[in-house]
Amino acid sequence: MPTAHTDTFARDNLPPQAQQPDFLFTLPELQFPQQLNCATELLDRHVREGRGQRLCVRGPNDSWTYQDLLERANQIANVLVQDMGLVPGNRVLLHSPNTPMMVACWFGIVKAGGIVVATMPLLRAKELKPILEIAKISHALCDASLAPALQEAALETPGLGQIRHFNSLSSEYLDVVMRTKSTAFQNVDTAAEDTCLIGFTSGTTGVPKATMHFHRDVMAICACWPRSVLNATVEDVFIGSPPLGFTFGLGGLVLFPMSIGASTVLLEKAGPSQLLDGIRDFGATVVFTAPTSYRSLAARGEEVRTTRLRKCVSAGEALPASTRTLWREATGIELIDGIGATEMLHIFISADESHARPGATGKVVPGYEARVVDDQGDPVAPGTVGKLAVRGPTGCRYLNDARQQTYVKNGWNITGDAYRMDEDGYFFYQSRTDDMIVSSGYNIAAPEVEEGLMLHPAVAECAVLGVPDEERGQIVKAFVVLGVGHSSNADMAKELQDFVKKTIAPYKYPRAIVFVDKLPRTPTGKLQRFMLRNS
Ligand code: 3UK
């Protein structure tokens, strides 16, 4: 097989062929040439075809056209190659909050044939270190504001020899150095099957896993979910909260808008209220964020109604049916739910506004296949709960990791989610397979109890898990964050228990309730149930 990588680390650490999932290229849009650099398709192509003056990336202080971004990415590619000694196949850490400059760096790396390892700005030295080691990172581009954490991690990682900082105007910074470089760059003619990004799983448990994705994979996700479900146009303005170090954010805020020549807004901080300000100030029309963010923004539905917002995508965690209803009633907009995974790169089950069904994630995205299987990997009948299995143009390739064999079985990617499919092919999320609570022999899905609790007006957020119990094996325990003005006491606990017994099957009610100020979450906003297990 052809490769443009002179540093063959990524290829050398691919899982053996027999452990890889099946890859399907069933749609006409999924026929790719042998040589492909995704930066050429997503960026250079627009300028070549005369769209260089269209708006591309915006931030609070920047407004760049496709031409502007191309020139900056080319200058950065020149710095990487000429000053930092990058050769194709090297891994480059990209550590930054979401900013236009981060996007320019992403393309600079990919143009030069490098492999981007983008990380969440919240990560500290302790979390960066294993990433530097696992991916054998040799180069780093880092936002000046995050320099201390990286410096600390780099001290103990001798392989990381080249670090440049940006978003500061002192003379040695990338922002200044790049201006001495040509705005032209000949993209490395990578193979479609050369790795261009390594995504680390956001890790609700354990040692982080590195997932490898090819240039072809990046183009494949642009050809699937955005075309069949999102249906955005060149006039749309994208915005959202997920970090670009999380493939949900990379796809939604960079790859998808750029694949259609639309524009995107990057916010360094995108809590609910900053997100709403951004939507209003930039006239954003498409938003990507997590269920909890919609839940809290729903309180400001009247303001949302005065903006241009028309499409709202929810992913990262299960969307409670109550949040879907809340958002529709508050804003008049039906949410687009979709399940994706770092291993799969992006969303593979979803439904657009007109096909959404309460409680269902949606149907399989064209280009992918999905089914619910038993412990042997055999499909179960509609209506039966089992393990979600998927395959399509993208799939799991862990970098030198024994857990490959847990995620991929018989060519199918096993996401670790318990799902049920109905007769119409709609998939209903139940829980993570390891979050299924078994109490007195009954299977209880934690998210179902959470939904029951969240319908109570006093509950702002909650997390449910099974804790060991002598008599019942496990009991259902709820950690509840109350809304302002509600007090946490025994009466409230009793009221919530009675309430749940009335909304779902009574045996599922939380026998233990603990009130907390906030819930532990990963930088991507996912609930860390295991952190609660020890409290
Ligand atoms: C859970 C969902 C129910 C599910 C992701 C969109 O979340 C993403 O990737 P991660 O690797 O986590 C994957 C796991 O998260 N999940 C995600 N979305 C949903 N569960 N409904 C949903 N809509 O357990 C899955 O296995 O962090 C999401 C795009 C790209 C992504 N990487």
Residue 5 has phi, psi (to 5 degrees) of -80, 120
Indicate the CATH number for domain 436-533: 3.30.300.30
Return the H-helix or E-strand segment holding 338.
strand 336-340
Q: Is 383 left (phi over 0), alpha (psi -120 to 50) or beta?
A: left
Which protein residue has the closest C-alpha to ligand 1 atom 23? 339
d(CA 17, CA 28): 25
How many other C-beta atoms lie within 10 A of the C-beta of residue 324? 21
| Angle of the 321-331 helix axis to the 446-454 helix axis, nearest 10 | 40
CA of 479 to the centre of ligand 1 (A): 22
Which protein residue has the closest C-alpha to ligand 1 atom 8? 341
Torsion of CA 319, 325, 331, 336, to 10 degrees: 40
CA of 293 to the centre of ligand 1 (A): 15
d(CA 126, CA 129): 6
d(CA 353, CA 322): 16
d(CA 448, CA 426): 17
Tens-place pLDDT, residues 251-272: 999 999 999 999 999 999 999 9
Which protein residue has the closest C-alpha to ligand 1 atom 26? 415
* Atom number of ligand 1 nearest to Cα 338: 23
Closest CA to 464 of 504, 426, 524: 504
CA of 161 to the centre of ligand 1 (A): 34
Q: Which of 317, 426, 432, 434 to mutate to test the pocket of ligand 1 (most atoms within 8 A of CB)?
A: 317
* Atom number of ligand 1 nearest to Cα 314: 23
d(CA 462, CA 240): 23
427-432 and 363-364 as β-strands: parallel, antiparallel, unpaired? unpaired
* pLDDT tens across the length of the chain (535 residues): 899 999 999 999 999 999 999 999 999 999 999 999 999 999 999 999 999 999 999 999 999 999 999 999 999 999 999 999 999 999 999 999 999 999 999 999 999 999 999 999 988 898 899 999 999 999 999 999 999 999 999 998 989 999 999 998 888 899 999 999 999 999 999 999 999 999 998 665 567 899 999 999 999 999 999 999 999 999 999 999 999 999 999 999 999 999 999 999 999 999 999 999 999 999 999 999 999 999 999 999 999 999 999 999 999 999 999 999 999 999 999 999 999 999 999 999 999 999 999 999 999 999 999 999 999 999 999 999 999 999 999 999 999 999 999 999 999 999 999 999 999 999 999 998 888 898 888 889 898 899 999 999 999 999 999 998 888 889 999 999 999 999 999 999 999 999 999 988 888 999 999 999 999 988 777 888 878 887 7
Strand partners, 517: none
pTM: 0.93
No. of helices (H) and no. of strands (E), the chain:
20, 25
Give the start-to-end residue ranges of the domains of the chain: 213-393+406-434, 436-533
Residue with tokens 């799983």: 201
- pLDDT of 202: 65
Closest CA to 149 of 518, 523, 401, 400: 523
How many other C-beta atoms lie within 10 A of the C-beta of residue 363? 20
* Atom number of ligand 1 nearest to Cα 416: 26
CA of 446 to the centre of ligand 1 (A): 16
Ligand 1 contacts (CB < 6 A) are: 201-202, 247-248, 315-319, 337-342, 346-347, 361, 415-417, 429, 432, 524
CA of 156 to the centre of ligand 1 (A): 32
d(CA 437, CA 533): 13
Contact 131, 125 (CB under 8 A): no
Contacts of 237 (CB under 8 A, 6+ apart): 262, 263, 264, 265, 282, 283, 284, 285, 286, 308
How many other C-beta atoms lie within 10 A of the C-beta of residue 402? 9
How many other C-beta atoms lie within 10 A of the C-beta of residue 362? 23
CA of 111 to the centre of ligand 1 (A): 28
- The answer regarding whether domain 213-393+406-434 maps to CATH 3.40.50.12780 reads yes
CA of 341 to the centre of ligand 1 (A): 5
Which protein residue has the closest C-alpha to ligand 1 atom 6? 340
Sign of CA dihedral 283, 289, 295, 296: negative
d(CA 295, CA 318): 12
Which protein residue has the closest C-alpha to ligand 1 atom 9? 341
Which protein residue has the closest C-alpha to ligand 1 atom 10? 341
